[in-house]
């Protein structure tokens, strides 16, 4: 399959077309509204129902994960530009959306587009764009950084600017209203919204003995946890394919969502009756604990970025400490209950 | 030290199809033509020089090429089935032979609607990506009138709400207009709900996708050509024939990098609708990539989009003497 990427190597089937400037994406993360996790066959049925055209891809290791075929949305609108780039630029093409389910429970709707400059600076016949799924062409040449900053900045939210969020939301609503789901989730949660932009980090130095390692050393990522449930992620990578970038950002978004959800929950129940607290903690641990599986399908180049995130802020460190805190609470309560029981037993005998 | 791990279910599977350079449709016939005693000899005879010109165009594009060209005829058995294959096929093949032509494949239009439990027409509809009008930023879903597809933005509906004056008429707009619009609205099926009867325009679009080898059902190519054991005689009904019947053992592959259709002018409007439809069908990405790469590998030019791979010869009416 033709995979646009942040690479600068020319593709012979693309004639004289310009190289990709930036890959833009947004992913919404939440839970399916169903009492239990879906089994593999149920997951595949749901995703095939949602997007009948094309194949559902699924993984069993190290954690069940399935992705729908892509859905395309036609766009002819503005892309915001960062400081120094002017206000916006018109772009035409398609954005590509997918729905992913992890562990039969965590639902992610993502929308992605690779941006290039139009070869002739005009809108082409629509067939030009349907032959280039998930690509947007700017009608005037732009700097990659301006497009990335514009997309992630406040200008990226204005009316008339490509609204990936609305596309993700529509898709999420369709999933939640699917006839095979009950329409209700046992866990209260908020959707998180992660917008991301990836540009090329240049080229691998010539003579580098191991291209993949050299590429990995050049990769950079910056994540910002914004107001409420908004996050942004800025990536520079040498030759990551769009699929790899989307996979990486989806993975970061998923683990950030688990942390956000559990922290929010613990905060919410901190003043509640101990019995209720325990029931809720039990629910969290049963539903989410096994889903923590960072970097499961992330490419070599980008897995280095995961390692950096593990160093700072230390996603897994925080998760382990949260799990330990919840387990301690259960253990303490159990010990306390046991003490009460023993006391009661002694008094009786 | 490296270790790699892969799961088959995590990789898309796409069946490859063999390719000819060109697929040339020699005729497209309604049952009524055949019952009405169409002069098949005359029809084939007038096609011959245009066929020669198409063959020559390939050598002109790529001098020295050893041409792989397959020919086909489409029979419309979807809307009526008035005459049997046993009657039609021999007549058709003789007419071609007497004009110095050969029919490699015979296709049935109803197979574009449904064949072997799948619907190629439904597959095409599932891949529709409606053309956006200027300003479409994804915040609203594309406005889809069930069963219709246009090449732009329709005139807003003239609904009269109470106490409000009727708005002034607004013209429809072609999305890719060059100043002036040619707005086309195509009916894809009817009725809006329930079992669909597919429109001729959609089936003709599917026919082009099949000839370009660009349709896949869960990765599998539908309507692959089949041979028929003719020793047992030809069947009485069209439904007994495969979707695409291979008539000649030495035929070049059915699917091709480019298609030419030599048609009566009566198909002009339908084929315009085909252009509107196919311009909004996202071809199967792996199938398209394979077509583009293999065609390029054989030294043929890279074409921008699938419409650029579809050519026509529209013939004026065959006069009577």
- Considering only CB atoms, which chain A residues are within 8 Å of B141? 170
Tell me how far apart the alpha carbons of residues A315 and B53 are, in angstroms, rounded to a whole number. Answer: 67
Question: Which pLDDT score, from 0 to 100, does residue B31 have?
Answer: 87
Looking at the complex, report in whole angstroms how far the Cα of residue B314 sits from the nearest Cα belonging to chain A. Answer: 22
Chain A residues touching B7 at Cβ < 8 A? 58-61
Closest C-alpha to B74, from B36, B108, B33: B108
> Does residue B122 surpass a pLDDT of 80?
yes
Give residue A1's pLDDT band: very low, low, confident or very high (50, 70, 90).
Answer: very low
Asked if B137 and A123 come within 8 Å (Cβ–Cβ), the reply is no
Q: Which residues of B touch A164 (CB under 8 A)?
A: 138
CB within 8 A of B183, min separation 6: which ones?
A: B150, B151, B152, B154, B171, B172, B173, B174
Render pLDDT for B246-296 as a digit per residue (tens, 0 to 9): 999 999 999 999 999 999 999 999 999 999 999 999 999 999 999 999 999
Subunit contact A77:B305, Cβ cutoff 8 A: no
Q: Which residue of A has its CA nearest to B277?
A: A127
Q: Which pLDDT value is given to residue A14?
A: 67
From the list B139, B281, B288, the residue facing A166 with the nearest CB is B139
Mapped onto helix, strand or coil, the DSSP state of residue A188 is: coil
Q: Please name every residue paired with B118 in a beta bridge, in sequence order, or none if there are none.
A: B115
Please name which of B25, B129, B2 lies closest in space to residue B72, comparing C-alpha atoms.
B25
Condensed to tens digits (0 to 9), the pLDDT of residues B141-193 reads 876 678 999 999 888 776 555 566 666 888 999 998 988 999 999 999 999 88
Better pLDDT: B197 or B1: B197
Nearest to B137 among A60, A123, A160 (CB): A160
Contact B176 A125 (CB under 8 A): yes
| Residue pair B312/B271 in contact by the 8 Å Cβ criterion | yes
Q: What is the mean pLDDT of residues A203-229?
A: 70
Nearest CB to A131: which of B126, B130, B305?
B305
Site from A28, A60, A131 to mutate, B interface, most B CB atoms within 10 angstroms? A131
Residue of chain A nearest B282, judged by CA positions:
A130
DSSP three-state, residue A94: strand
pLDDT at A2 over 50: no
Interface with chain A: mutation pick from B139, B176, B216, highest number of A CBs within 10 Å: B139
- Subunit contact A128:B5, Cβ cutoff 8 A: no
- Which residues in chain B are closer than 8 Å to A126, comparing Cβ atoms? 131, 151, 175-176, 279-280
Tokens representing B144? 């889809």
Q: A123-138 as b/e, with b when 16 or more CB fall inside 10 Å?
A: bbbbbbbbbbbbbbbb
Average pLDDT over residues B200-226: 94
Instruction: Compute the nearest-CA separation of A90 from chain B (Å).
Output: 9
DSSP letters for A20-74: P-EEEEEEEEEE-SSSSPPPHHHHHHHHHHH--SSPPEEE-SSS-EEEPPPEEEE
Task: Tell the burial category of B230 from Cβ atoms under 10 Å away from its Cβ (0-12, 13-18, 19+).
Answer: exposed
For residue A162, give how far its alpha carbon lies from the nearest alpha carbon of chain B (Å).
5
pLDDT in tens, A268-309: 888 888 888 888 899 889 899 999 999 988 888 888 888 888
- Please enumerate in sequence order all residues whose Cβ is within 8 A of that of A229, keeping only pairs 6 or more positions apart, or say none: A190, A191, A192, A193, A260
Q: Which residues contact A305 (CB under 8 A, 6 or more apart)?
A: A219, A220, A221, A235, A248
Residue A346 confidence (pLDDT): 83
3-class secondary structure, A183: coil
Contacts with A160 from chain B: Cβ below 8 Å: 135, 137
Highest mean pLDDT, choosing among A30-34, A154-158, A182-186: A30-34
The verdict on A242 touching B (C-beta cutoff 8 Å) is no
Task: Tell me, letter by letter, the H, E, C secondary structure of chain B.
Answer: CCCCCCCHHHCCCCCCCCCEEEEEEEEEEEHHHHHCCCCHHHHHHHHHHHHHHHHHHHHHHCCCCCCCEEEEEEEECCCCCCCCHHHHHHHHHHHHHHCCCCCCEEEEHHHHHCECCECHHHHHHHCECCCCCCCCCCCCCCCCCCCEEECEECCCCCCCCCCCCCCCCCCCEECCCECECCCCEEECEECCCCCCEECHHHHHHHHHHHHCCCCCECCECCCCCEECCHHHCCCCCHHHCCCEEECCCCCCCCCEEEEEEEEEHHHHHHHHHHHHHHCCECCCHHHHHHHHHHHHHCCCCCCCCHHHHEEEEEECCCCCC
CB contact (8 A) between residue A130 and residue B289:
no
How many Å apart are CA A154 and CA B319, to the nearest integer?
68
Q: What is the pLDDT of residue A157?
A: 83
Is the CB of residue B151 less than 8 Å from the CB of residue B279? yes
Residue among A226, A222, A162 nearest A193 (CA): A226
Question: CA of B147 to nearest chain A CA: how many angstroms apart?
Answer: 18
Measured distance CA(B161)–CA(B170) in Å, rounded: 17
Judge whether residue A16 has pLDDT over 70: no
Q: What is the mean pLDDT of residues A91-111?
A: 97
CA distance A338 to chain B (A): 47
The tokens for A332 are 């303490």
Contacting B residues, span 3-42, partner chain A, CB-CB under 8 Å: 5, 7, 9-13
The pLDDT assigned to A213 comes to 63
Of A55, A57, A130, the CB nearest to B129: A130
pLDDT at B158: 61
Closest partner CB to B292 (pick from A13, A57, A74): A13
Interface of A with B in 108-147 (CB under 8 A): 111, 123-128, 130-131, 133
A chain contacts of residue B142, beta-carbon cutoff 8 Å: 73-74
Instruction: Report in angstroms the alpha-carbon separations of A255 from A49, A102, A108, A250, B79.
Output: 27, 11, 12, 9, 56
B179 lies within 8 A of chain A by CB:
no
Q: How far apart are CA B66 and CA B179, in angstroms?
A: 44
Is residue A204's pLDDT more than 60?
no
Residue from B1, B132, B309 to probe the interface with A (highest A Cβ count within 10 Å): B132
pLDDT at B47: 97
Is B141 an 8 Å CB contact of chain A? yes
The distance of A300 to chain B (nearest Cα, Å) reads: 11
Chain B residues near residue A12 by CB distance under 8 angstroms = 296
Residues of chain B with Cβ-Cβ distance to A94 below 8 Å are 129, 282
- What is residue B139's predicted lDDT score, i.e. its pLDDT? 92
Specify burial of residue A122 (Cβ count, 10 A radius: 0-12, 13-18, 19+).
exposed
Quick one: pLDDT at residue B92?
94
> What average pLDDT score do residues B207-226 get?
93
Contacts of A279 (CB under 8 A, 6+ apart): none
Element (H, E) at A137: strand A135-138
Q: Is the pLDDT of residue A212 over 80?
A: no
Nearest in space to A71 (alpha carbons), one of A118, A130, A150: A130
On average, the pLDDT of chain A sits at 88
Residue B200 token pair: 């001729």
Say whether A57 and B11 touch across the interface (CB within 8 A). yes
CA B270 to chain CA centroid, nearest Å: 11
Q: Which of B282, B284, B296 is most worth mutating to test chain A (most A CB atoms within 10 A of its CB)? A: B282
The per-residue b/e assignment along A329-340, b for 16 or more CB within 10 angstroms, e otherwise, is eeeeeeeeeeee
The model's pLDDT over A308-327, given as tens digits with 9 standing for 90+, comes to 888 888 889 999 999 999 98
Chain B CA closest to residue A80 = B137
Calculate the alpha carbon distances from B260 to A125, B27, B71, B144 in Å.
Answer: 21, 11, 9, 31
Which residues 150-169 of A have a C-beta within 8 angstroms of B? 159-164, 166-167
**Is the separation of the CB atoms in A242 and A23 below 8 Å?**
yes
């Amino acid at each position: 399959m033709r995979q646009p990427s942040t690479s600068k190597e020319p593709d012979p089937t693309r004639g004289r077309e310009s190289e990709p400037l930036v890959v833009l994406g947004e992913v919404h993360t939440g839970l399916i509204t169903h009492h239990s996790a879906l089994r593999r066959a149920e997951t595949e049925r749901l995703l095939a129902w949602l997007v009948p055209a094309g194949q559902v891809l699924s993984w069993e290791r190290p954690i069940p994960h399935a992705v729908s075929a892509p859905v395309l949305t036609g766009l002819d609108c503005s892309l915001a530009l960062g400081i120094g780039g002017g206000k916006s630029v018109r772009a035409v093409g398609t954005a590509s959306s997918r729905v992913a389910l992890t562990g039969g429970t965590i639902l992610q709707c993502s929308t992605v587009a690779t941006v290039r400059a139009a070869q002739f600076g005009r809108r082409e016949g629509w067939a030009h764009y349907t032959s280039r799924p998930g690509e947007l062409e700017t009608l005037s040449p732009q700097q990659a950084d301006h497009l990335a900053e514009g997309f992630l900045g406040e200008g990226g939210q204005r009316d008339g600017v490509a609204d990936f969020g609305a596309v993700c939301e529509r898709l999420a609503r369709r999933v939640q209203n699917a006839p095979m789901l009950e329409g209700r989730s046992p866990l209260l949660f908020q959707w998180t919204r992660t917008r991301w932009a990836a540009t090329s980090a240049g080229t691998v130095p010539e003579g580098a003995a191991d291209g993949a390692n050299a590429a990995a050393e050049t990769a950079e990522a910056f994540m910002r946890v914004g107001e409420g449930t908004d996050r942004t992620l800025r990536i520079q990578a040498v030759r990551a394919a769009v699929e790899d970038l989307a996979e990486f950002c989806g993975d970061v978004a998923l683990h950030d969502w688990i942390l956000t959800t559990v922290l929010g929950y613990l905060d919410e129940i901190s003043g509640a009756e101990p019995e209720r607290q325990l029931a809720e903690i039990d629910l969290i641990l049963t539903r989410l604990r096994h889903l923590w599986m960072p970097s499961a399908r992330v490419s070599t180049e980008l897995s280095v970025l995961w390692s950096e995130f593990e160093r700072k802020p230390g996603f897994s460190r925080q998760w382990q400490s949260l799990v330990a805190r919840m387990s301690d609470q259960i253990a303490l309560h159990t010990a306390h209950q046991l003490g009460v029981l023993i006391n009661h037993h002694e008094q009786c005998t | 030290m490296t270790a790699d791990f892969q799961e088959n279910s995590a990789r898309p599977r796409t069946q490859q199809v063999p390719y000819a350079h060109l697929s040339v449709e020699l005729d497209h016939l309604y049952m009524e033509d055949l019952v009405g005693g169409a002069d098949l000899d005359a029809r084939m005879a007038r096609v011959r020089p245009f066929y020669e010109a198409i063959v020559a165009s390939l050598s002109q594009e790529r001098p020295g090429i050893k041409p792989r060209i397959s020919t086909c005829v489409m029979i419309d058995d979807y809307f009526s089935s008035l005459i049997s294959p046993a009657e039609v096929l021999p007549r058709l093949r003789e007419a071609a032979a007497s004009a110095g032509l050969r029919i490699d494949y015979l296709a049935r239009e109803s197979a574009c609607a449904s064949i072997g439990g799948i619907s190629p027409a439904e597959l095409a509809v599932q891949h529709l990506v409606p053309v956006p009008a200027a300003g479409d930023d994804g915040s609203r879903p594309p406005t889809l009138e069930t069963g219709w597809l246009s090449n732009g933005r329709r005139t807003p509906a003239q609904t009269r709400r109470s106490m409000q004056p009727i708005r002034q008429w607004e013209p429809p707009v072609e999305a890719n207009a060059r100043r002036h619009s040619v707005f086309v609205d195509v009916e894809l099926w009817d009725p809006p709900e329930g079992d669909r009867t597919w429109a001729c325009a959609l089936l003709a679009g599917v026919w082009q996708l099949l000839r370009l080898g660009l349709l896949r059902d869960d990765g599998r190519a539908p309507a692959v050509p089949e041979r028929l054991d003719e020793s047992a005689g030809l069947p009485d009904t069209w439904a007994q024939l495969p979707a695409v019947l291979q008539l000649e053992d030495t035929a070049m592959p059915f699917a091709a990098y480019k298609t030419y259709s030599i048609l009566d002018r009566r198909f002009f409007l339908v084929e315009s609708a085909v252009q509107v439809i196919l311009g909004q069908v996202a071809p199967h990405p792996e199938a398209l990539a394979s077509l583009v790469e293999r065609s390029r590998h054989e030294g043929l030019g890279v074409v921008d989009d699938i419409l650029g791979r579809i050519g026509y010869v529209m013939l004026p009416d065959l006069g009577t003497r």
